[in-house]
A and B are shown apart, each in its own frame.
Chain A
Amino acid sequence: MQQAIPYKSWPPLHTKAQQSFSLKVDDNPLVSPPKVVLREGEDMLNMVSENAVIVFARRGCCMSHVVKRLLLGLGVNPAVYEVDEKDEIGVVKELETLISNTGKDGKVLQFPAVFIGGSLFGGLDRVMATHISGELVPILKDAGALWL
């Protein structure tokens, strides 16, 4: 009998020597969202409040690429924070404290997670829906992510 393929037990494609708060490197050097560098004493929650738009995504996730491209296409330069698999639970916990602070209870954090203007906006679904209905651009402008 064939053994079931262990989905989680495969070794990572690239070995990582750096810390979990690592730099994100985009393919396209011309149009790349700003690299998120952690300064001494800074944490994720600060980043959320400091950036008009920030996307938390799993490393190598193709869905997060979609979100990035969509926002870039609108003229927004979102900050991107890439989460390693091993840090995922910790990141989720920390971000969920933000959700309860802003009173948006009942929203489960899913990656990719988009924060606009310091509060959780939603995932790819919500971004797509609001973009098509035309609500996204005004929201971005309000948050100061777009100037036109």
Chain B
Amino acid sequence: MNSPSAQFVTSRRMGVYDPIHQMSMWGENFKSNSNLNSPASLIVEDVKLDSQSEDASHGISGPSNQYDQEATKPVDKAQRRLAQNREAARKSRLRKKAYVQQLETSRLKLIQLEHELECARHQGSYIGGGLDAIHPGFPGAVNPGITTFEIEYGNWVEEQNRQICDLRNALNAHVTDMELRMLVENCRNHYFELFRMKETAAKADVFYVTSGMWKTSAERFFSWIGGIRPSELLKVLGPQLNPMTEQQSAKVVVLRDACLQAEDALWQGMERLQQTLAETVAASQLIEGSYIPQMAPAMKKLEALVEFVNEADHIREEALEQMFHILTIRQAARGLLALGEYFQRFRALSKLWATRSHEPA
């Protein structure tokens, strides 16, 4: 009486899943019991047991020996059935666990891929070219460091837009220098935060950073080792800082020259790196059907690229810092506003460019 209901109980528990799952579970039982009894015979045995117990209750004196002998056999069989049932239930639980885990990882992958697609669509970037950087190795592989960076960068841009709004309002409302100082400090720290994020991203995938993959297409046009050239920025935005004293103007010119010199030195180092990398790769030979043993020196050169990216950002950071030294708070606020708006416009341009191709000619 117990055994069949026990089986039903198990299947009810498993009822959450599709019927196919249930069927397979039943199939398991079929397989495990094949050596001993078929379920059909089990049920028959149950009926026998029921009828026997009924007989026993009626016949008091009766053939008690016979009843004992026969009673042990069905009990054994019942025990065995219960054990097999437990085993089947355990296996079902394990399969359930594995299935759920698989679902979870697939779900995470899906979120990541959707997010990347979203970003790529926003930027209007050419996914074919971007895939190389985003998915190193085999397709479907996602670099978690880069995914994190992209999510963080999305947040960074949102915050940046808010700060630009605040600066604009503050300058128009002619707030006190004290209040302006706070906004300027926030903006300054926000930029430094971006440099830290880029440093981490460079370790995850240096080519992603050197290609400026997180930027919109128009921004990427100006990309120089993972960002814009600081001297270029000073040239373009310098006039917007006026009015400045003559002393300040002179200092800005000096700063721009220093940036140019630093940039040139860094660039020459990069060219040297390219040259040696090209020579190393050209000298690589097939050893026993593989290039890999000879690739070690080339790999080392590529690691040096991370240092170059960091150094380029270091120049940008120092240039920004120096500007804060040169300018008054109000001028710095104006400068930051100009800087923020400059990139905002590039992002808008990129968006416009991405949509223009869909318009009918």
Which residues of A line the B interface, CB within 8 A?
Answer: 2, 5-7, 9-10, 13, 60-63, 65-67, 69-70, 73-74, 124-125, 128-129, 131-134
Q: Which of B28-36, B161-169, B312-320, B352-360 contacts A (4 or more CB under 8 A)?
A: B312-320
Q: Which residues on A sit within 8 Å (CB–CB) of B299?
A: 5, 7
Collect the chain B residues with CB atoms within 8 Å of residue A6's CB.
296
Contacts of B283 in A (CB 8 A): 13
The stretch of B116-124, B175-183, B198-206, B258-266 that contacts the partner chain: B258-266
CB neighbours of B262 from chain A (8 A)? 70, 128, 131-132
Q: Give the residues from 274 to 332 in chain B that come closer than 8 angstroms, CB to CB, to chain A.
A: 276, 280, 283, 292-297, 299-301, 304, 307-308, 311, 314-315, 318-319, 321-322, 325
Contact, CB under 8 Å: B295 / A5: yes
The answer to whether A131 touches B258, judged by C-beta atoms less than 8 angstroms apart, is yes
Q: For residue B258, which residues in chain A have a CB less than 8 angstroms away from its CB? A: 131-132, 134
A-B contact count (CB 8 A): 82
Query: CB distance B261 to A131 under 8 Å?
Result: yes
Least CB distance from B68 to A in Å reads 62
Cβ-defined contact, A65 with B272, below 8 A: yes
- Give residues in B with beta carbon < 8 Å to A: 254-255, 258-259, 261-262, 264-266, 268-270, 272-273, 276, 280, 283, 292-297, 299-301, 304, 307-308, 311, 314-315, 318-319, 321-322, 325
Complex Cα gap A133–B268 (Å): 21
* Contact partners of A131 in chain B: CB under 8 A: 258, 261-262
By the criterion CB–CB under 8 Å, are B322 and A132 in contact? yes
Asked if A66 and B311 sit within 8 Å, CB to CB, the answer is yes
Beyond known contacts A62-B272, A128-B318: 5 more, CB 8 A cutoff: A7-B299, A9-B296, A63-B308, A65-B268, A66-B311
Contact indicator A133/B318 (Cβ below 8 Å) = yes
What is the CA–CA distance of A61 and B301 in the complex, to the nearest angstrom? 9
| A10 and B296 contact, Cβ closer than 8 Å, known pairs A124-B311, A128-B314, A131-B262 | yes
Give chain A's interface secondary structure class: helix
Measured in the bound complex, the distance between the Cα atoms of B269 and A63 in whole Å is 6
How far, in whole Å, are A7 and B301 apart by their CA atoms in the complex?
A: 11
B261 close to A129 (CB less than 8 A):
no
Tell me whether A132 and B269 are in contact in the complex, defined as CB-CB below 8 angstroms, given that A5-B299, A13-B297, A62-B276 are known contacts.
Answer: no
Chain A residue contacts of B280, Cβ below 8 A = 13
Identify the 7 closest CB pairs spanning chains A and B, nearest first: A66-B269, A70-B265, A69-B265, A132-B318, A62-B273, A10-B296, A65-B269
B304 / chain A contacts, CB cutoff of 8 Å: 61-63
B105 to chain A, nearest CB (A): 23
Of chain A, the residue at the smallest CB distance from B266 is A66
Q: Which residue of A lies closest to B255 (CB)?
A: A132
Chain A neighbourhood of B261, CB < 8 A: 70, 73-74, 131
Interface centre among B293, B295, B319 (most CB of A within 10 A): B293
Q: Is the interface of B mostly helix, strand, loop or mixed?
A: helix
**Chain B residues whose C-beta falls within 8 Å of the C-beta of A125 in the assembled complex:** 311, 314
Tell me the bound Cα distance from A134 to B262 in angstroms: 12
Q: Which residue of chain B has its CB nearest to the CB of A2?
A: B292
- Bound Cα distance A129, B170 (Å): 32
Q: B301 — which chain A residues lie within 8 A by C-beta?
A: 62
Interface residue from A13, A73, A129 paired with B265 (Cβ < 8 Å): A73
A62 to B273 Cα, complex, angstroms: 6
Q: Which residues of A contact B321 (CB under 8 A)?
A: 133
Q: Please, which residues of chain B bring their CB within 8 A of the CB of A67?
A: 265
Q: Which residues of B contact A13 (CB under 8 A)?
A: 280, 283, 297
**Closest residue of chain A to B254, judged by CB?**
A134
Q: For B308, what are the chain A residues with a Cβ–Cβ distance below 8 Å?
A: 62-63
Q: Which of B254, B295, B300 has the most CB of A within 10 A?
A: B300
Q: How far is the CA of A60 from the CA of B112 in the complex (A)?
A: 40
Shortest A29–chain B CB gap in Å is 16
B30 CB → nearest A CB, Å:
40
Return the chain B residue nearest A73 by Cβ: B261
Q: Which residues of B contact A63 (CB under 8 A)?
A: 269, 304, 307-308, 311
CB-CB under 8 A from B292, the residues of chain A are 2, 5
How distant is the Cα of A62 from the Cα of B279 in the complex, in angstroms?
14
Shortest distance between the CB of B293 and any CB in chain A (Å): 8
- Give me 5 A-to-B residue pairs in the complex whose CB atoms sit less than 8 angstroms apart, sorted by A's number: A10-B296, A62-B269, A128-B314, A132-B258, A132-B262
CA of A133 to CA of B262, assembled, Å: 12
Q: Is the CB of A60 within 8 A of B255?
A: no
Contacts of B322 in A (CB 8 A): 132-134
Complex-state Cα separation, A61 to B319, whole angstroms: 25
- Minimal beta-carbon separation of B274 from chain A (angstroms): 9
Chain B residues closer than 8 Å to A128, beta-carbon distance: 262, 311, 314-315, 318
